[in-house]
Amino acid sequence: MTLQRSLWLLAFATAVLLSGCSRDDALQQVLADGELVVVSRNSPTTFYLDKNGAAGFEHDLAQLFAEELGVTLQMDTAYSLGGIFRRLQRREAHFAAAGLSLTQARSAMFNHSTPYASLVPRVIYRTGRRKPSGLDDIEDLHLVVLAGSSHEQTLQELKSAAWPELSWEAVRGADTMELLERVDSGDADIAVIDSNEFRMQQSLYSRLDVAFNLGSEQDMVWYFPPGDEYTALIERADTFLSALQEDGRLEQLREQHFGHNTVLSRVGSHVFARNIRSKLPAYSKLIRQVAEEYKLDWHLLAAIAYQESHWDPEATSPTGVRGMMMLTGPTAREMGVKDRLDPLQSLRGGARYLKNIRRRLPADIDEPDRTWLALAAYNIGLAHLEDARVLTEQRGGDPHLWSDVMETLPLLQKREHYRNTRYGYARGREAANFVQNIRHYYSILQWKDMSANQPGQPLNPMQFLPAALQGERFLAL
C-alpha cells in the first residue's frame, strides 16, 4: 500500500468515525455544544417575553430540562404549526415544545417524549347564539382551527367517517387567540382549541364559552426529529419529566400557568385593614428608613411591599421570586441583593429597581403619571411598557398619561394588537391591576397616616384617592 493510499484510508476512517459521533447521538451533541435548541410558538400558553425575559409554560419546562443537563436554552419561534415540524424535519432544533398533542400521524413521522400534560379539544361558541351540542349542529357553521393542528386532523377523520358536510377554515398562525378573536367578533361561528388554551384566555373573552368537547382527552408531548440518534436525548427527557411529575414540580408549573386566571384579584380590603394593624408595625420603621434612603414616599414603598408579599419577608412563589419585594434572582443580583429573604436588603433592592426604572422613562413624563408608569414597567418590563405607550398613541391616547396607557395595557394580551408590537405578547392586564392595586393601598396608607396624625379631624378617604379609583367599591377601615 502506498503512503498516499494509507493516508487517504486513515482520513476516510476518521471522517466516518467523526460523522458517526456527531450524527449518532443528539444528547452528546447538546452536552458538547452546551446548548439545547428548542422550537416553540409565541403564545400566552407556550412562550412569550416577560419583564424578566422569556416566560410561558413550555419555556419554563424546557428551561428546567436545560438546567438539568447543565446547558443553556435557546428557544426559537416558528409562526405556524407546520413551521415547527419543518424545523424538526430539517433538524434545526433538538425538539419542539409548543403545546403539541400526540397524534398517530405525527408519531408516525417524529419521535416524542412521554406526556407531560393532558388536554381536551373544545368547541367554542359565542354565548347569546344557539349553542351547538354535537357534530350534527355544526355542519353549516363557519368553523375555524389552526392550520396543521391536531384538531384539523381530527376533523378530517370525522369528515371521512360520517360527517361529509363538515367544513372548516384552517387559519395559518400559531396562536389560538386569533381563533377566539374571530369568534368573538362574529367573523366565525365556532373554533376548536385545547382546553388549557381556552382556560387561560377565557377572561379576555367573557362572551365565549364551551359548546362541547371534540373527542376525548389528548396527551401533550415534546416532538423530536426522526432518527435513532435522538434516543438518548429522549430517554433523558422522559426521566426528567417523570421525576418532575413525581416530586410535584410539574403540577406546580401547570397550576402556575393554567390553573388559575392570571388576572390578579383585588385582595380583600378587610384583609388589608387587618394586616395594617397586625403586620405593618413590625416593618414600618424599616420601610421608612429605606424610603428615606431612596427619597421615596414611604407609603408608596409600603404599598408595593404589600402588593408583592403582604409584608411577608419569607414569601416565596413557585416562579422563584422571593422576599418582601418578591425579587427575581436576576433582579436581586443586579441590585446587589445577596439575601432576598432579608427584609432590609429586599426593600432596598425593590426601591432601587423602581428608581432606576423611573429614571429611565422619557424625560417628558411628569409626576404622578411617571410613578404609575414606572410601576407598570416594574411589573411588566420597560420594553412592554414602551409597546403599550406606542399602542396608546396609535389609538389616539396620550402615552404620557397613566389613565390612557392603563387602558391599552390589556391589549398586549390580544393577538390582533400584540402581533404588531415590537416585543409581542405580555400580561398587560396583570400589570394594569398591579399598579391600580398599589395606588389603592397607597391612598389608604396615606389616609391612615394623616388621620392618625390629626386626631379629631374627620378625614374623607375619598379625597386622597386617585381619580381612577374613585367610585370603585371601597373599603371601610
Which are the contacts of 384, defined by CB distance < 8 A and separation ≥ 6?
49, 51, 377, 412, 423, 426, 428, 431
- List, in sequence order, every residue forming a beta bridge with 77; answer none if it has no partner: 40
- Lookup result for grid cell 432606576: 356
Residue 387 contacts ligand GLU per CB under 6 A: no
Residue 194 contacts ligand GLU per CB under 6 A: yes
Query: How many residues at the interface with ligand GLU, by CB under 6 A?
Result: 12
Residue 406 contacts ligand GLU per CB under 6 A: no
Q: Which of 31-39, 142-150, 156-164, 394-402 is the region at the interface with ligand GLU (rule: CB under 6 A)?
A: 142-150
Q: Which of 94-102, 155-163, 399-407, 414-422 is the region at the interface with ligand GLU (rule: CB under 6 A)?
A: 94-102
**Grid cell for residue 162:** 360520517
Instruction: State which residue, 99 or 428, has the beta carbon closest to ligand GLU.
Output: 99
Candidate list 178, 181, 197, 308, residue with the active-site label? 308
Q: Shortest Cβ distance from residue 55 to ligand GLU (Å)?
A: 18
Q: Which of 42, 63, 101, 345 binds ligand GLU (CB under 6 A)?
A: 101
Phi first, then psi, for residue 188 (nearest 5°) are -140, 160
Residue 81 contacts ligand GLU per CB under 6 A: yes
**Grid cell for residue 67:** 438546567
Contact 238, 113 (CB under 8 A): yes
- List, in sequence order, every residue forming a beta bridge with 212; answer none if it has no partner: 123
What amino acid occupies position 380?
I
Q: Shortest Cβ distance from residue 216 to ligand GLU (Å)?
A: 14
Tell the burial category of 247 from Cβ atoms under 10 Å away from its Cβ (0-12, 13-18, 19+).
Answer: exposed
Within 10 angstroms of residue 371's Cβ, the number of other Cβ atoms is: 22
Query: Known catalytic residue: 217?
Result: no
Q: Is residue 318 reached through a cis peptide bond, with omega within 30 degrees of 0 on the bond before it?
A: no
Q: Shortest Cβ distance from residue 314 to ligand GLU (Å)?
A: 38
Q: Which of 99-107, 270-278, 314-322, 458-466 is the region at the interface with ligand GLU (rule: CB under 6 A)?
A: 99-107
Residue 385 contacts ligand GLU per CB under 6 A: no
Instruction: State which residue, 189 or 197, has the beta carbon closest to ligand GLU.
Output: 197
Q: Which of 67, 115, 431, 412 is nearest to 254 (CA)?
A: 115
The whole-angstrom separation of Cα 71 and Cα 67 is 6
Q: Provide the 3-class DSSP secondary structure of residue 64.
A: helix
The whole-angstrom separation of Cα 262 and Cα 258 is 8
Per-residue binding string, ligand GLU, 146-165, x by CB under 6 A, is x--xxx--------------
Instruction: State which residue, 135 or 344, has the beta carbon closest to ligand GLU.
Output: 135
Residue 201 contacts ligand GLU per CB under 6 A: no
Instruction: State which residue, 149 or 392, has the beta carbon closest to ligand GLU.
Output: 149
H-helix or E-strand spanning residue 133: none
Residue 171 contacts ligand GLU per CB under 6 A: no
User: Nearest residue by C-beta to ligand GLU?
Assistant: 149
Residues lying near ligand GLU in the complex (CB under 6 A): 81, 99-101, 146, 149-151, 176, 193-194, 197
Catalytic residues: 308
